[in-house]
Amino acid sequence: MKTVFDRPQALADVPLHYCPGCTHGIVHRLVAEVIDELGLQESTVGVAPVGCSVFAYNYFDCDMIQAAHGRAPAVATGVKRTHPELNVFTYQGDGDLAAIGTAETVHAATRGENITVIFINNCIYGMTGGQMAPTTLPGQVTTTSPYGRSRKIQGSPIRVCEMLATLDGVALAARVSVDCPKNVIAAKKAIKKAFQNQIDGKGFSIVEVLSTCPTNWGLSPTDALQWLRDNMMPYYPLGTYKDTEAVKDGE
Amino acid sequence: MAKKVLMKGNEAIAEAAISAGCLHFFGYPITPQTEISEYMAKRMPKVGGLCLQAESEVAAINMLMGAAATGSRAMTSSSSPGIALKSEGISYIAGCDLPCLIVNVQRGGPGLGGIQPSQSDYYQATRGVGHGDLRLIVLAPSSVQEMASLTAEAFDLADIYRMPAMLLADGALGQMMEPVDFEAFPKRETPEKTWATNGMGGKRARNIVNSLYIDPNVLENTVLERYERYALLEENEVKYEEYMTDDADIVLVAFGITARICKSAIGELREAGLKVGLLRPITLWPFPKKILGELADKTKAFLSVEMSMGQMVDDVRLAVNGKKPVHFFGRTGGVIPSVEEVIAETKKLAETL
Query: What's the pLDDT tens digit per position in B9-46?
Result: 999 999 999 999 999 999 999 999 999 999 999 999 99
The pLDDT, as a whole number, for residue A247 is 52
Q: Domain containing A65 — which CATH number? A: 3.40.50.970
Q: Which residues of B touch A (CB under 8 A)?
A: 24, 26, 50, 52, 54-56, 58-60, 62-70, 72, 74, 88-89, 92, 96, 197-202, 206-212
Q: Judging by DSSP bridges, how do beta strands B240-243 and B177-181 pair with one another?
A: unpaired
Partner residue opposite A66 with nearest CB, options B50, B54, B210? B210
CA B322 to chain centre: 27
How many domains in chain A? 1
The pLDDT, as a whole number, for residue B2 is 60
In this structure, the answer to whether residues B222 and B244 fall within a common structural domain is no
Chain B residues touching A65 at Cβ < 8 A: 65-66, 69, 96, 197, 208-210
C-beta atoms of B65 and A54 within 8 A: no
Query: What's the pLDDT tens digit per position in B144-166?
Result: 999 999 999 999 999 999 999 99
C-beta atoms of B69 and A79 within 8 A: yes
User: Is the bond leading into B286 cis (omega within 30 degrees of zero)?
Assistant: yes
Q: What are phi and psi of A93, to 5 degrees?
A: -95, -175
Domain endpoint, select from B236, B269, B302: B236
In this structure, the answer to whether residues B264 and B199 fall within a common structural domain is no
Are B173 and B35 in contact by the 8 Å Cβ rule? The answer is no
CA of A151: how far to CAs of A31, A84, A138, in Å?
Answer: 35, 42, 6
Are A69 and A50 in contact by the 8 Å Cβ rule? The answer is yes
CA A152 to chain centre: 28
The β-bridge partners of B75 are B25, B101
Which DSSP helix (H) or strand (E) runs through A208?
Answer: strand A204-210
Burial of residue A90 (number of CB atoms within 10 Å: 0-12, 13-18, 19+): buried
Are B226 and B234 in contact by the 8 Å Cβ rule? The answer is no
Are A189 and A215 in contact by the 8 Å Cβ rule? The answer is no
- Nearest-Cα distance to chain B for A240, in Å, is 27
| DSSP calls for B190-232 | ----TT--S--TTTS---EE----SSHHHHHHHHHHHHHHHHH
What are the residue ranges in chain A where pLDDT is below 70? Answer: 245-251
- Nearest-Cα distance to chain B for A104, in Å, is 6
In this structure, the answer to whether residues B58 and B205 fall within a common structural domain is yes
C-beta atoms of A54 and B88 within 8 A: no
Chain A residues touching B63 at Cβ < 8 A: 74-75, 77-78, 81
> Is A7 within the bounds of a domain?
no
d(CA A244, CA B3): 52
C-beta atoms of B63 and A77 within 8 A: yes
Taking 3-state DSSP, the helix, strand and coil percentages for chain B, each rounded to the nearest 5, stand at 45, 20, 35
- Nearest-Cα distance to chain B for A42, in Å, is 5
In this structure, the answer to whether residues B209 and B246 fall within a common structural domain is no
CA of B63: how far to CAs of A74, A111, A112, B34, in Å?
Answer: 5, 13, 15, 18
Q: Which of helix, strand or coil describes residue B293?
A: helix
- Nearest-Cα distance to chain B for A182, in Å, is 33
Partner residue opposite B89 with nearest CB, options A64, A68, A103? A68
C-beta atoms of B58 and A74 within 8 A: yes
Query: Quick check: pTM over 0.95?
Result: yes
Chain A residues touching B96 at Cβ < 8 A: 65-66
d(CA B282, CA B236): 14
Query: What's the pLDDT tens digit per position in B61-103?
Result: 999 999 999 999 999 999 999 999 999 999 999 999 999 999 9
Q: What are phi and psi of B169, to 5 degrees?
A: -105, -165
C-beta atoms of A63 and B206 within 8 A: yes
Domain endpoint, select from B168, B201, B236: B236
Chain B residues touching A102 at Cβ < 8 A: none
CA B288 to chain centre: 14
Are B250 and B346 in contact by the 8 Å Cβ rule? The answer is yes
Are B10 and B107 in contact by the 8 Å Cβ rule? The answer is no
- Nearest-Cα distance to chain A for B64, in Å, is 6
> Is A18 within the bounds of a domain?
no
C-beta atoms of A81 and B210 within 8 A: no
Beta strands in chain B (DSSP E): 4-8, 24-27, 50-53, 74-78, 100-106, 137-139, 164-170, 177-181, 208-209, 240-243, 250-253, 276-281, 283-285, 301-306, 326-330
Q: A-B interface: how many C-beta pairs under 8 angstroms? A: 132
Segments forming the whole domain that contains residue B320: 240-352
Domain endpoint, select from B236, B267, B288: B236
- Minimal-distance CA residue of chain A relative to B205: A62
Q: Which of B157, B219, B228 is nearest to B191 (CA)?
A: B157
In this structure, the answer to whether residues B278 and B305 fall within a common structural domain is yes
The pLDDT, as a whole number, for residue B1 is 43
How many domains in chain B? 2
In this structure, the answer to whether residues B283 and B145 fall within a common structural domain is no
Which DSSP helix (H) or strand (E) runs through A25?
Answer: helix A24-37
In this structure, the answer to whether residues B80 and B142 fall within a common structural domain is yes
Q: Which of residues 88-147 of A touch B (CB under 8 A)?
A: 103-104, 106-107
C-beta atoms of B55 and A61 within 8 A: no
In this structure, the answer to whether residues B158 and B248 fall within a common structural domain is no
Segments forming the whole domain that contains residue A227: 24-243
- Nearest-Cα distance to chain A for B69, in Å, is 7
User: Is the bond leading into B110 cis (omega within 30 degrees of zero)?
Assistant: yes
What are the residue ranges in chain B where pLDDT is below 70? Answer: 1-2
Within 8 A by CB and 6+ apart from B168, the residues are B104, B106, B121, B122, B125, B138, B139, B140, B256, B284
Q: Domain containing B335 — which CATH number? A: 3.40.50.920
C-beta atoms of A77 and B200 within 8 A: no
